[in-house]
Every structure is written in C-alpha cells, then in structure tokens.
Amino acid sequence: MTASTKEILADLSPVIKLYTDGTVDRLLPSPYVPPSPEDPATGVSSKDTPPPQTHSPLSKSPNLSLLPRRRILHRIRFLSLRFRYINLLFAESAALVVSVEYRLAPEHLLPAAYDDSWTALNWICSHVVVGEIKINFKKEDWISNYGDFSRVFVGGDSADGNIAHNIAMRAGSDPLPGNVKIVGAILSHPEFCGSNPIGNEPEENRGENLLHRMWLMAYPSTGGGIDNPLINLFADGAPSLSGLGCSKIMVCLSEKDVLTRRGRRYAEEVKKSGWEGEVEVVEVEGEDHCFHYFDPHTKKARSLINRIAAFISHRS
C-alpha cells in the first residue's frame, strides 16, 4: 500500500503524517551526508559514535551538548541542513560538539527524547570520572582528549531549544557525573506553548494549533496536556525558573516567529525568578522561525551564528 492510498490517522502537515497502519511520513526531509575528516568549507572534522547502551537503538534528530574545541562528534545521522549549520556555527566558536540522536515520537513517545538527552549529557560528563561509574558506556577519545569540562554548554533550535531548557532545569537538581556544571544554555526559537494566549496570540481554536496537536501526539499520556510544565513553563505548578542549573542563557528569537512572544516572556520570567545567572536575548527583525538553520549564509543568519559562537567562546 502506497502513502497515497493509506488511511491517514493524523495529518500534521507540513511536519508529519501518521497512518492507521502505524507508519509515519516525515515531510521535511533532509538528505543524508556522511561525516567528514575535514569539511572543505569550514575545516571542521566530524565522525559518528555509538550511543550509550542504556535502551533500544535511538532514532534521529539532534539536541546539542557543547564543549570547546573544533570538532563535531555526532550521535545522529548526518542530515545535510543540520550538518551545514553546525559546521558553520562551530567553525566560529572552536567547539567540540556532541550532537545527540534521541528517539522520535510518535514511534517513541515523550519523555523519551528528554530522557535520551539527559543520558547523553551524563555520558559526556562521565568522561571526567575516575573509577567506577553508574552508566554503561565506552569512552570516546575526542571527548577525553579535546573536551573542556569547565566550559560545558547545552543548546538547540526549536523543539531542541525546549529540550535544552528542560535539561538545564534538571541539572539544577540532579548532579552530573564528576560534579560537572553547565556554563550556558542556548535556546534558539524554543518551542513553548500553553492553553492561555500570551500577548497577541490568537484566542480562538487554540486546540487546532499545529504545535498543540504535535505535543499531544508526542505525549498523549501527559498530565496537564498542553499545560504540562515541560512545554508550558508558566503553568500552575511549574517549577521555579530559579532552579536553572547553568550560569548564563542566550535566547534567540525572530520577529515573525509565532513563538517569539513566549520566548520574550521566558526571558522576562527567568530574570524575575531570582535565578542569579545572566540572560542575553537576541531578536532578529524581519525573520521567521529558525531562519538561520534553513539558510545560514544570509547576512542576518551569519550575524546570529556569530552571536551564538561568541556566547560559547566568551567573546564580546
């Protein structure tokens, strides 16, 4: 049976379609490219490495954990858009990047992606631990030889920005191996939402909002639905943002992005929470959601990439 004749269970175009036979079509394909000993455009080296053997094999789509040096260590299939963007970003920041291959919904429902990202961060930090450790893993030479564990960053774009926030929150209460601390979190166009509109968000038909529908598809058993604190940081009962386990945060937003209102609110609430770190907000005029990811060579995209790189490398 072809995709054109299969019965659609849920149509979340332009992102994903689910069929009654359990199959999935992801509608935003990005061609696979292999890792490269040296990218000719940026000079960045990359390779693939197996994930920690803590559960079944992971699927694709990245979250980022960042440590300074000029290499990319992928635990994700090398998708061309992501690969191009990461190479450009970390050529500027001289960073060692671990790009995490977490399991995707709906095949693996949330909180799988959060758990996988936390497991990956623990795996990274475990490289500094001497003697017995609690996680089953094989050390990766690039992390051991090139990682600077006094300068660990987490970050991501869109849904990965949401994950980066939640990882930073968890790091504020759950110690990482070797007592490693996260220096900074980069939330680029982060996905946050909720049942109550913020600013000039539309009040009608909020249940038909694509982001709302995707969240409920990915986490159908969640308590609170779209107001679960993982996605609605301002919901009743959400943990205080003062618990963020990092020293500084960068929030990247774009004028035309429907998520920008909540990104602004997020930065404001972090500042008011009593958290003692630094918040940097960058808002790009005239651009939409994750514009720099889809075309990183424009003037505005390169400017944003340079700002993120400076945040990582401590340049002003």
CB-based contacts of 143: which residues, under 8 Å, 6+ apart?
A: 67, 73, 96, 98, 124, 127
Q: Which three-class secondary structure state does DSSP give residue 57?
A: coil
Name the catalytic one among 158, 188, 227, 254: 158
> What distance in Å separates the CA atoms of residue 304 and residue 249, rounded to the nearest whole number?
15
**Residues ≥6 apart with Cβ < 8 Å to 208:** none
Q: Work out whether strand 278-284 and strand 246-254 pair parallel, antiparallel, or are unpaired.
A: parallel
Residue 257 is a catalytic residue: yes
Percent of the chain that is helix, strand, coil (3-state, to 5): 35, 20, 45
Start-to-end CA distance of the chain, whole Å, equals 56
Q: Which of 39, 108, 257, 292 is catalytic?
A: 257
Which candidate in 127, 212, 289, 292 is catalytic? 289
Residues 6+ apart with CB under 8 A from 304: 252, 282, 284, 292
φ/ψ of 126, rounded to 5, equals -65, -15
Nearest to 116 by CA among 172, 70, 52, 66: 52
Helix and strand counts by DSSP (H, E) for the chain: 8, 11
**Catalytic residue list contains 189:** no
Is 158 a known active-site residue? yes
Round to whole Å and give the CA distance between 59 and 41. 28
- Which residues are designated catalytic? 158, 257, 289
